[in-house]
Structure 1
Amino acid sequence: MTSPHGIELAVHLISTYFGDIVSKVCECLLRKGTLSLAQVRKYTEMKDVTVKNALLVLIQHNCVQAFNLQVSGGFGEAPKIVTQYMALHDNIIHHMRFPKFLAIVLDEFGKECMEIIEGLLQHGSLSLKLITDRYKDKHKANATSEENSTAAIVLHENFNKLAHARYIERCPAHEPFLPPEEDAPKKRTARSRMGDGPLTVEARALAAAAPMESLRFLVEVDACGNGAADDDDDSNKCPTTGIVGEKRKQPEAEVWATNQNKEILWRVNFEEFMRRLRHKACVSHVTTRLDSVAGIVLSAIFEAGRKEETKVKMEKTVPLPLETVFEEAMKSEEGRSLTLERVRASLVQLGCELPTIGIDETYSIDLKKIIDQAQAQEVESIVLKKYGREAYRIFRLLLERERLYDTDKISNTTFVEKKDALKILFQLWKDDFLHMERLGNDAAQKSEILLWKLNKRSLWEQVLDDMYHAALNLKLRLVHELEQAKDILRVLKGKTVGDEVMQKRKRVGDKWKVLESSLMILDDAILLFHDF
């Protein structure tokens, strides 16, 4: 269930990128849930062609997934196939993280690979031919045919690097068919599993649309990849769709991750970027809580186990031998001075039990515990700033031991006067931080006993919604500052710029940088509570 301010933030992002018409259609899907075209048209009160165009834009940019569903007809009518549309809230929020994605690729592979990712983020999905054409248009200044051919080969190599690193993937099927639930396969894959209950229609649709894992990152060698082929030669077009369709053996194979020219479409793989950001957050938390060596060792574990790790939210890292972790740690400049014993000690610091030293000495880190600790630390800081140090001590006690405590026990353990403790507890309860139970209040007892327990699940949801609200306010303030900057530039057009005006421009620029930085820091916290 998406939080109210989470929906408002997503709608604002869509409005900023694609305009009010597209955002109205997106908001309808976010608030009403999965709908057919007729239902979207009814709720938005817009023309059929306008709704279709808006949905195409959202699908192109991975914000909406369409799927075909068999529904029963009226009395005496045969079942019919209806196309349904569901909004992908997480993918919409990812638009806010595009600068982070680009920074990751720039740091790992350089500027040329970053430009490929930038094009995919800008256009949503592209074929390899369109990526090549985009590159040629950007770098065509006085280049010879030989230089163009060489550049295209380099581009294809960079494309292969990104696919191998799983930063890009083939697009899902445009409109996969969902058979009736009784006919659906019972096997639950890692990518389709959502909780312990039965799969929802939306989860089944995402699972049906996803490419086979063996094809998801496969870059086929064809004429489109060499960059030297004549674009107008039909014989050089990529004949890849048939291969994909044959392996899937589904009715919609002819539209599987392809455009009208039957070229395979590619998009940015958000899962991999979420995995890398999760790793970064874990390393940062461990470095702050323990020491820099523990951060180096954890980073080495992530790098060494990257190929084996396939899920974003793995609760534990891949088990690795001590020697493998040590060798990976030695590759970094900070880790060259480490000894084998120091690495082993850091692994114990990270929560690993010390195994019997020998051939089977392997280690695995509990990532869920690290994320839980980071979330708790974030909420603790909120309580400290909002309610004060005494409330912070009470909150920590209830967080560490998730059970019912009476007021006297809380007061004695945290060294807070009972009257003050009661006042703080009632304030936290009023703000839905705590759950309260009343005992007694009969003739045998002089007063009732109040029991308190942290309302963790609802509190975490409330904190996340507050973060979405704060992010929305920052985005709106950024828009306001941008409008102010435009007004200043409009006034300055054709005039001599004085010192006072230059200072005004500098102040606007400084505000923009502070707001952007604050938004990125806030987004780190949103990732921690929602995506990790």
Structure 2
Amino acid sequence: MVTQYGIKYAVNLITAHFGDLVAKVCECLLRKGPLTLQAIVRSTELTSSQVKNSLLVLIQHNCVQAFILDQTGEHGDGAKQSTQYIALFDNIIQRWRFPKFLTMVSKKLDKQCVELLEGLLQHGRLTLKQMFDRAKSGDDVVQEAFVKLLNAHFIERCPASEPVLTNPTKEEEAARKRAAKSGKILEVQETLEQRVVEAAMPTEALRFLFATETEPTADGGKDKSNSSSVTPGEKRKHDALESEAECGATDEQLVLWRANFDEFIRRLRHKACIDNVRARFDDGAVIVFGAMLEATRSAEKKVKTENSVTLSLSSIYEEVIKSEEGRNITFDRVRASLVQLSCPPFVKAANESYSVDFKKIIELAQNEEVESIVLKRYGRDAYRMFRLLSNSGHLLETDKVADATFVEKKETPIILYKLWKDDYLQLEKLQIGVKQIPFQLWKVNKNTLKVHVLDEMFHAAFNLSQRVAFELEQEKELSNVLQDKRVNRLRKRLLLESSQMKLDDAIMLFHDF
């Protein structure tokens, strides 16, 4: 979801990285949605050349995707096609997380992999030849690091430059309206941005496929049958490679590659889930839970997966003992840990099969984050009231809230009004009986509250980024002053940057997870 302060935050990131001109084009797309080149020129009042160059920069760095909208005529006339450009908000805010991504790779892989990924993050998209040219090491070392990153899904082939997107047919629109009326609405509505991203994405068979040129064949050419991917040797990947060869697109030196943000966010999501489990259970349960995530990661088709694939008890135990700390855990201990994890239902159990309930874990973490904000901002009485209303899930009148939370009845409406005024509660007023006695009913609407809290977080992130930029400017101006003043400035900036990192963790919880 894109909020108003989310847009400001994203534009601020683009301004810091690419300057005002590129940021103006990006802001235009974020606020107005998909536009043609001519429409962007009209809206920004920039020259066509300036807009083109800005779009090229944004596309190079995966912040904008071009697509062709295929519009079929309503009266039987031919289809109309136009190239449009859409800002990828999710990709833009990932730019702040590049240090997190590099830290993750440094813990999993070697230094050469970190350097290779750093180049991709810095330049947006690179061919293998460009990676070879940039690297200080030999081609073989670079290729080995490249394959490691690819096998871990940290990098991927770039999407299609201009995928074709068709408007929904009248039948599809009618079906969607019927579903809305009957209440059968999808929990997560597919946005245009998601449709464009999915249309541009290479097929799963090609996304992580890399063909290595090895020994010469009998006809003097090079054998390209060897391929490196997550599961080498799969027939469908070889078929995809042969299909590419027929189209003359097998020169791996010319294929564009980029960082795979989905994989990094997926791993950060898993880490957040493990941290949540660690706060509630013992080390044994944490090890079992981590093993389940490791065993099911490759089966996740999207980041916001609600439930993992199911695993048998034997499969979970087999994964547990792969790690050094898991080898001390017995089969019965694994079973006991799964029982622990089922209350609260972080793990679902059915017929000796188990799956991770990501949706429940993330919702619980979000609830705790909001409750923490209420406690710090409004005090303990407000926290108890908010928690009561949040857990009840329905409307409660003022006196019942006061009785349940042991807060004085005179203070209760004052506190509730504060929460309502700041959009943390929903208020409904009723008049009952002949005398039309007014009643005030209170409720937490978690869907609207989530959007509000996220917007507040983006607002705070925007302010923090502005403050950090100010501190950096001050440091430059104070380069010749006393050492003590420079140290104090540096300490203040590091504290602000630490706050930024923590705030970004909370933003990921509400936006990315």
Q: Normalising by the residue count of structure 2, what TM-score does the alignment of the two structures yield?
A: 0.86
Q: 2: distance between equivalents of 1:457 and 1:274?
A: 22
Q: 1: distance between equivalents of 2:300 and 2:165?
A: 29
Residue 428 (structure 2) aligns with: 437
Q: Root-mean-square deviation (CA), in Å?
A: 3.3
AA partner of residue 173 (structure 1): A
Residue 171 (structure 1) aligns with: 158
AA partner of residue 486 (structure 1): K
Match of 1:449 among 439, 443, 448: 439
How far has the Cα of 1:318 moved from its partner? Answer: 2.3
Contact 1:438–1:449 (Cα < 8 Å) also in 2: yes
Establish whether residue 401 from structure 1 lines up as the match of residue 401 from structure 2: no
Q: 2: distance between equivalents of 1:196 and 1:394?
A: 28
Residue 144 (structure 1) aligns with: none
Contact 1:326–1:340 (Cα < 8 Å) also in 2: yes
Q: 1:247 to 1:84 in 2, by over 3 A?
A: farther
Residue 282 (structure 2) aligns with: 291
| Structure 1 residue runs without a partner (length 5+) | 140-150, 187-193, 227-234, 493-500
Q: 2: distance between equivalents of 1:513 and 1:344?
A: 45
Task: Tell me the secondary structure at the aligned position of residue 86 of structure 2.
Answer: strand
Q: 1: distance between equivalents of 2:253 and 2:330?
A: 55
Q: 1: distance between equivalents of 2:43 and 2:199?
A: 28
Residue 271 (structure 2) aligns with: 280
How far has the Cα of 1:157 moved from its partner? Answer: 1.7
Residue 267 (structure 1) aligns with: 258
Residue 26 (structure 1) aligns with: 26
Residue 412 (structure 1) aligns with: 403
1:162-193 deviation digits (Å, cap 9, x = unpaired): 1111111100011122345449999xxxxxxx
Contact 1:63–1:88 (Cα < 8 Å) also in 2: yes
Q: 1:480 to 1:198 in 2, by over 3 A?
A: closer
Match of 2:312 among 304, 308, 321: 321
Contact 2:348–2:357 (Cα < 8 Å) also in 1: no
Residue correspondence of structure 1 range 180-191 to structure 2 within 5 A: 181-182=168-169
AA partner of residue 45 (structure 2): E
Match of 1:524 among 480, 498, 505: 505
Residue 152 (structure 1) aligns with: 139
1:67-104 deviation digits (Å, cap 9, x = unpaired): 11235799999654321000000100000100111111
Task: Tell me the secondary structure at the aligned position of residue 85 of structure 1.
Answer: strand
AA partner of residue 59 (structure 1): I
Q: 1:382 to 1:179 in 2, by over 3 A?
A: closer
Q: 1: distance between equivalents of 2:43 and 2:395?
A: 46
Q: 1: distance between equivalents of 2:189 and 2:471?
A: 47
Contact 2:71–2:166 (Cα < 8 Å) also in 1: no
Contact 2:22–2:54 (Cα < 8 Å) also in 1: yes
Establish whether residue 422 from structure 1 lines up as the match of residue 409 from structure 2: no
1:335-391 deviation digits (Å, cap 9, x = unpaired): 3433333322222222268969xxx63211211111111000000010001111111
Q: How many residues are matched?
A: 481
1:100-138 deviation digits (Å, cap 9, x = unpaired): 111111100121111111111001011111111111xx3
Residue 475 (structure 2) aligns with: 485
AA partner of residue 478 (structure 2): I
Q: 1:401 to 1:128 in 2, by over 3 A?
A: same
Q: 2: distance between equivalents of 1:208 and 1:200?
A: 12
How far has the Cα of 1:455 moved from its partner? Answer: 2.2
AA partner of residue 19 (structure 2): G
AA partner of residue 172 (structure 1): P
Residue correspondence of structure 1 range 54-453 to structure 2 within 5 A: 54-71=54-71, 79-135=79-135, 138-139=136-137, 151-179=138-166, 181-182=168-169, 195=186, 201-222=192-213, 247=243, 263-351=254-342, 361-444=352-435, 447-453=437-443
How far has the Cα of 1:448 moved from its partner? Answer: 2.2
Contact 2:426–2:442 (Cα < 8 Å) also in 1: yes
| Structure 2 residue runs without a partner (length 5+) | 174-184, 216-220, 228-238
Residue 491 (structure 2) aligns with: 510
AA partner of residue 530 (structure 1): H
Q: 1: distance between equivalents of 2:261 and 2:76?
A: 46
Task: Tell me the secondary structure at the aligned position of residue 120 of structure 2.
Answer: helix
How far has the Cα of 1:20 moved from its partner? Answer: 0.8
AA partner of residue 366 (structure 2): Q
How far has the Cα of 1:196 moved from its partner? Answer: 6.0
Q: 1:80 to 1:314 in 2, by over 3 A?
A: closer
Q: 1:199 to 1:340 in 2, by over 3 A?
A: closer
Question: Which deviates the most, 509-518 or 316-325?
Answer: 316-325
Q: 1:379 to 1:355 in 2, by over 3 A?
A: closer
1:301-340 deviation digits (Å, cap 9, x = unpaired): 1112222222211112221222332343334444343333
Q: 2: distance between equivalents of 1:204 and 1:355?
A: 34
Q: 2: distance between equivalents of 1:74 and 1:274?
A: 42
Q: 1: distance between equivalents of 2:127 and 2:399?
A: 67
How far has the Cα of 1:403 moved from its partner? Answer: 0.7
Contact 2:67–2:83 (Cα < 8 Å) also in 1: yes
Q: Normalising by the residue count of structure 1, what TM-score does the alignment of the two structures yield?
A: 0.83
Task: Tell me the secondary structure at the aligned position of residue 356 of structure 2.
Answer: coil
Contact 2:113–2:146 (Cα < 8 Å) also in 1: yes
How far has the Cα of 1:33 moved from its partner? Answer: 0.6
Q: 2: distance between equivalents of 1:337 and 1:466?
A: 45
Q: 2: distance between equivalents of 1:166 and 1:374?
A: 27
Question: Which deviates the most, 152-161 or 198-207?
Answer: 198-207
Q: 1: distance between equivalents of 2:381 and 2:243?
A: 63
How far has the Cα of 1:420 moved from its partner? Answer: 1.5
Q: 2: distance between equivalents of 1:427 and 1:27?
A: 34
Q: 2: distance between equivalents of 1:262 and 1:341?
A: 52
How far has the Cα of 1:62 moved from its partner? Answer: 0.3
1:379-420 deviation digits (Å, cap 9, x = unpaired): 001000111111111111111110111122211111112221
How far has the Cα of 1:248 moved from its partner? Answer: 8.7
Task: Tell me the secondary structure at the aligned position of residue 396 of structure 1.
Answer: helix
